[in-house]
Amino acid sequence: MKKQYDFSKARRGPVVPHAPGKTRITIRLDNDMIEHFQAIIDRAGGGNYQTLINGALREHIRGARLEAVLRRTIRQEVRAAAESLSKAG
């Protein structure tokens, strides 16, 4: 190591800039949740457990949207069938 370093041209901030479209947050997750995703990454031979968690959240949101669309469609179909039956009978 040197006895003295020149930081006159140094800049503050992260060494590696964050990816566009990403925001750093602090979140508290249960240990077993983190261990679960880390174990998946370990079995896969490497990767990033945070990316895996992000994907799981995205899948959940897409699934919730799909469920909402399906429920709305089923309600409309049931309502239409009920109206059809009431007009026929």
Average pLDDT over residues 1-24: 84
pLDDT digits (tens, 9 = 90+) for 16-70: 777 888 888 899 999 999 999 999 999 999 999 999 999 999 999 999 888 988 9
Give pLDDT, residue 19: 80
- Rounded to two decimals, the pTM is 0.59
Classify residue 9 by its DSSP letter.
Answer: T
pLDDT beyond 80 at 14: no
Q: Within 13 Å and on the Cβ side, how many CA atoms surround 69?
A: 6
Phi-psi domain of 31 (left: phi exceeds 0; alpha: psi -120 through 50; beta: other): alpha
Residue 36, H or E segment: helix 31-44
